[in-house]
């Protein structure tokens, strides 16, 4: 049976690589938005894989790729406009991709299963730990309520999860949202456009390029992070042991840090790397009294995260140092409050 990956970007490409290493047949679809298409093609070249250029907003694209992949063991829905940066995409594109897209995917998987007379495969959805909102305290597990949202990208995750819950209850589909922390780390498709990189990568690029770094006071709010390798492991383990027809969210966040703490770790690695780093005037950040703790049901099925920001920064710096580092595009604002 086939693994179907919808969205072969930063996280999707790393997931594809993991499944190919396991010997799985993979069919993947991507529309090329903000993604290096050549990198995806190199990843899938020579393996038991097929890459389709298509869009989850297009019914015919979905029908074709599902037909190519069938029978399907698991569907990963990772296609999304994931950046909170308002310059990343128009609101219309974000809404069409992140709201209409998941509906069309769930309906297409349901209809294909009915036509084949077989149970629908589990749909693992790339959701976000941001669903819980700001100001978190104490233990945060999957039963915690959804909090307020500040941008369309993350607000759309609320809708898509509720949509998945509806299909689980109404149509017997197995829907597994994985609430990922801010993902960082080097993979087969690693972006460098400031509109589409997360905080650890943005800081690394700025230090290597000798660009200014500012931290807004709001950066003192603790945030949840997850290394790319741990995110892939979480996505693969998420449907394990889940009963057919269940809606089963899973947290995948491994470290809780403030933005100044991330910058401190980046700067420590950059200095060891030989980069002249100006004093940010922050000192070594102290632990926040209001820090929350993340609990995940995935621990019961063998998810044991291995990576942290401090240990990952040398590799991130080496990766970017191997490429020219320049100022961000004029339409990519220097606003590191956005923890995309």
Could you report the average pLDDT of every consecutive run of 10 residues in the chain (340 residues)?
95 96 95 85 85 94 95 96 82 92 98 97 98 94 96 94 98 98 95 90 94 78 95 98 97 94 94 85 60 95 94 95 56 33
Residue 36 is predicted with a pLDDT of 82
Give the pLDDT confidence score for residue 302 in this predicted structure.
96
Q: Same structural domain for residues 93 and 209?
A: no
pTM above 0.85, yes or no: yes
Query: What's the pLDDT at 172?
Result: 97
Q: Which pLDDT does position 218 carry in this prediction?
A: 64
Question: Do 286 and 235 have their domain in common?
Answer: no
Q: For residue 58, what pLDDT is reported? A: 95
Q: Is 145 inside a domain boundary?
A: yes
Residues 220 and 231 in one domain: no
Range of the domain at 215: 199-224+258-321
Same domain, 126 and 271: no
Q: Residues 231, 220: one domain?
A: no
Shared domain check, 269 and 239: no
Residue 36: count of CB within 10 angstroms of its CB: 17
Question: Do residues 57 and 84 both lie within one domain?
Answer: yes
**Statement to judge: residues 211 and 106 lie in one domain:** no
On whether residue 296 sits in a domain, the answer given is: yes
> In this predicted structure, what is the pLDDT of residue 219?
67
CATH number at residue 87: 3.40.50.720
| One domain, residues 284 and 240 | no
191, part of any domain:
no
- CA proximity to 11, closest of 207, 141, 178, 163: 178
- The answer to whether residues 143 and 206 belong to one domain is no
Residue 77 lies in a domain: yes
Q: Give how many domains the chain has, as a whole number.
A: 2
Note whether 183 and 10 are within 8 A (CB).
yes
Cα–Cα distance, 33 to 126 (Å, whole number): 17
User: Measured between alpha carbons, how far is residue 195 from residues 14, 53, 79, 293 in Å?
Assistant: 20, 23, 17, 28
Q: Is residue 331 domain-resident?
A: no
User: Is the same domain home to 76 and 178?
Assistant: yes
Same domain, 209 and 142: no
For residue 26, being part of any structural domain is answered with: yes
């Amino acid at each position: 049976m086939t693994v179907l990956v919808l969205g072969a970007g930063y996280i999707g490409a790393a997931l594809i690589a993991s499944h190919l290493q396991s010997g799985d047949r993979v069919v993947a679809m991507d529309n090329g938005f903000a993604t290096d298409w050549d990198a995806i093609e190199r990843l899938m070249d020579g393996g038991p894989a097929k890459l389709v250029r298509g869009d989850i907003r297009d019914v015919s694209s979905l029908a074709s790729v599902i037909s190519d992949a069938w029978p399907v063991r698991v569907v990963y829905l990772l296609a999304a406009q994931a950046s909170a940066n308002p310059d990343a995409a128009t609101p219309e594109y974000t809404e069409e991709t992140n709201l209409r897209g998941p509906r069309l995917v769930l309906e297409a998987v349901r209809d294909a299963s009915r036509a084949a007379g077989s149970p629908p495969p589990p749909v693992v959805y790339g959701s976000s730990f941001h669903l819980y909102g700001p100001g978190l305290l104490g233990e945060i597990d999957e039963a915690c309520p959804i909090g307020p949202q500040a941008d369309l990208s993350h607000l759309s995750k609320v809708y898509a999860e509720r949509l998945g819950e509806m299909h689980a209850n109404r149509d017997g589909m197995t829907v597994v949202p994985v609430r990922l922390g801010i993902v960082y780390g080097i993979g087969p498709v690693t972006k460098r456009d400031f509109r589409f990189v997360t905080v650890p990568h943005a800081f690394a690029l700025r230090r290597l390029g000798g660009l200014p770094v500012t931290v807004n006071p709001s950066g003192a709010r603790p945030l949840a992070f997850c290394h790319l390798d741990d995110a892939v492991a979480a996505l693969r383990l998420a449907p394990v042991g889940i009963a057919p027809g269940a809606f089963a969210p899973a947290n995948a966040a491994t470290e809780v840090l403030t933005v100044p703490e991330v910058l401190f770790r980046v700067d420590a690695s950059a200095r060891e790397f030989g980069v002249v780093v100006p004093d940010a005037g922050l000192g070594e950040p102290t632990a926040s009294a209001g820090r929350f703790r993340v609990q995940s049901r995935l621990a019961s099925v063998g998810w044991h995260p291995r990576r942290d920001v401090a240990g990952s920064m040398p590799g991130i710096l080496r990766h970017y140092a191997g490429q020219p580092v320049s100022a961000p595009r004029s339409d990519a604002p220097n606003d590191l409050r956005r923890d995309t």
